[in-house]
């Protein structure tokens, strides 16, 4: 362990509560993103904690993105945030590439994270698939950039879906190693916030697979851009089994598709899965699915309508992202500048 030797460096003892989270503009926003992330991001904003939310465009290009589609998806994701209830005056909403502190700290963290840690990342293995030799170096380094996204804000809490848990553990490991190596209590040890009934929304075609924007089958997911007819049709055709719904949640143990639909119902209606099962005990899917479709349409249609209204004015969305980036920069710049001091980089430009 070594000391930094810099008198400019201060040791923050406590960190003010701050939430950071991000969504990749690598396609449209799904019901999984909405229930596992967006809806909860808005709830956090309304709890009065400082909230910083980011369309992580630099993460998206770890796999090929057509530039026009990337721009479109970034704006559409921002529109989804606002349509879901995010207030850009209260929360900070921006796109990652406009704040260079992310990439700068990402590099430092590439030098903190160990290859052994990165080799354990299951999402890299899933995304790289069988041909890992052809995956980009960025895809491999991605979790270090994600740690930088969070720690550039000294964020203390990160709301995410279940699939990001391992990346947040890595973020904690990076913060601990940085603090240890430089002998300074500089980065907070973040808390993953994985809560609610829908931390892992599953595919509508296969209850053992996560609902994902990259699934080749559009029938596997509900997109926030789907109209009422498409939502109802996808739920009607969702894979289920032949049994009626049980009396208690325990009865759904080996019925992943049924369990998924119960979780979706619970998350959309702000009830617990137990309460939903109790309400529909003994019901057939012929009864439950139309009720779920009505609920989904009632909750999602206003968001879809508002998103398409917002998308008619892309310049306004860009303005909101730019303003958010200015506010984000004001937090992240001094934090990352101090990292340069701590790591021994000379900063003598005026
Ligand atoms: P991404 O873009 O894949 O997903 C965005 C958020 O949606 C959640 N999510 C789900 N939740 C429940 N069920 C699902 N089927 C489902 N699919 C996605 C994700 O858990 C996530 O919370 N690496 C991140 C983006 C990121 C980030 C960050 C997140 C980059 N930097 C810093 C938090 C903090 C990702 O690829 O999310």
**Residue 207: inside a domain:** no
Residue 213 counted as domain residue = no
Q: Taking Cα atoms as reference points, which of 56, 328, 13, 37 lies closest to residue 210?
A: 37
Distance from Cα 165 to the centre of ligand 1, integer Å = 10
- Please give all residues whose beta carbon lies within 6 A of any atom in ligand 1, as ranges: 20-24, 32-33, 36-37, 56, 59, 146, 149-150, 158, 160-161, 163-164, 167, 198-201, 210-211
- For position 284, which CATH number holds? 1.10.240.10
107 and 156 in a single domain? The answer is: yes
- The parent domain of residue 299 ranges over 218-310
- For residue 51, how far is its CA from the centre of ligand 1 (angstroms)? 16
Helices (H), the chain: 31-33, 39-45, 57-60, 67-83, 101-110, 115-119, 122-128, 137-151, 165-182, 228-237, 256-269, 273-279, 285-310, 314-343
Q: How far apart are CA 234 and CA 91, in angstroms?
A: 33
- My answer on whether 165 and 266 are in the same domain is no
Active site includes 271? no
Looking at the fold, whether 277 and 143 belong to one and the same domain comes out as no
Q: Looking at the structure, do residues 26 and 93 belong to the same domain, yes or no?
A: yes
CATH of the domain at 154: 3.40.50.620
Residue bearing the CA closest to ligand 1, atom 4: 23
pLDDT (tens, 9 = 90+) of the chain, 350 residues, equals: 444 444 445 555 689 999 999 999 999 999 999 999 999 999 999 998 999 999 999 999 999 999 999 999 999 999 999 999 999 999 999 999 999 999 999 999 999 999 999 999 999 999 998 889 999 999 999 999 999 999 999 999 999 999 999 999 999 999 999 999 999 999 999 999 999 999 999 999 999 999 999 899 999 999 999 999 999 999 999 999 999 999 999 999 999 999 999 999 999 999 999 999 999 999 999 999 999 999 999 999 999 999 999 999 999 999 999 999 999 999 999 999 999 999 999 999 88
Number of domains in the chain: 2
pLDDT score recorded for residue 350: 81
Q: Give, in order, the Cα–Cα distances in Å from 220 to each of 13, 32, 131, 284, 294.
A: 47, 11, 24, 21, 19
Pocket probe mutation, ligand 1, options 20, 26, 28, 33, max atoms within 8 Å of Cβ: 33
Q: What pLDDT does 14 receive?
A: 85
State the catalytic residue, choosing from 69, 177, 213, 239.
Answer: 213
Contact assessment for residue 51 and residue 41, using Cβ atoms and an 8 Å cutoff = yes
Protein residue with its CA nearest to atom 26 in ligand 1: 22
């Amino acid at each position: 362990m070594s000391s930094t030797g810099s008198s400019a460096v201060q040791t923050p003892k406590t960190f003010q509560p701050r939430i950071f989270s991000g969504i990749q503009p690598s396609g449209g926003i799904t019901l999984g993103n909405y229930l596992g992330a967006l809806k909860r991001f808005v709830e956090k904003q309304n709890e009065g904690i400082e909230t910083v939310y980011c369309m992580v465009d630099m993460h998206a290009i770890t796999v090929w993105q057509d530039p026009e589609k990337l721009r479109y998806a970034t704006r559409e994701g921002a529109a989804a945030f606002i349509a879901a209830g995010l207030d850009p005056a209260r929360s900070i909403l921006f796109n990652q590439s406009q704040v260079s502190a992310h990439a700068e700290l990402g590099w430092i963290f590439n030098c903190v994270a160990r290859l052994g840690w990165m080799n354990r990342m299951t999402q890299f293995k899933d995304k790289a698939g069988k041909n890992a030799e052809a995956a980009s170096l960025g895809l491999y380094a991605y979790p270090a950039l994600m740690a930088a996204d969070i720690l550039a804000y000294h964020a203390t809490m990160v709301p995410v879906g279940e699939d990001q848990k391992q990346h947040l553990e890595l973020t904690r490991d990076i913060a601990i190693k940085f603090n240890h190596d430089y002998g300074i209590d500089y980065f907070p040890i973040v808390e993953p916030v994985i809560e609610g009934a829908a931390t892992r929304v599953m595919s509508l075609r296969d209850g053992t697979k996560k609902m994902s924007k990259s699934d080749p089958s559009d029938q596997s997911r509900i997109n926030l851009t789907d109209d009422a007819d498409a939502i109802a049709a996808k739920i009607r055709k969702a894979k289920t089994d032949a049994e009626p719904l049980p009396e208690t949640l325990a009865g759904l143990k080996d019925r992943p598709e049924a369990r998924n639909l119960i979780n979706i119902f619970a998350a959309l209606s702000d009830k617990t899965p137990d309460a939903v099962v109790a309400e529909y005990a003994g019901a057939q899917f012929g009864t439950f699915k139309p009720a779920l479709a009505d609920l989904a349409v009632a909750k999602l249609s206003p968001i879809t309508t508002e998103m398409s209204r917002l998308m008619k004015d892309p310049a306004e969305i860009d303005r909101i992202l730019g303003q958010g980036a200015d506010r984000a920069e004001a937090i992240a710049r001094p934090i990352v500048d101090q990292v340069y001091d701590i790591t021994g980089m000379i900063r003598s430009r005026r």
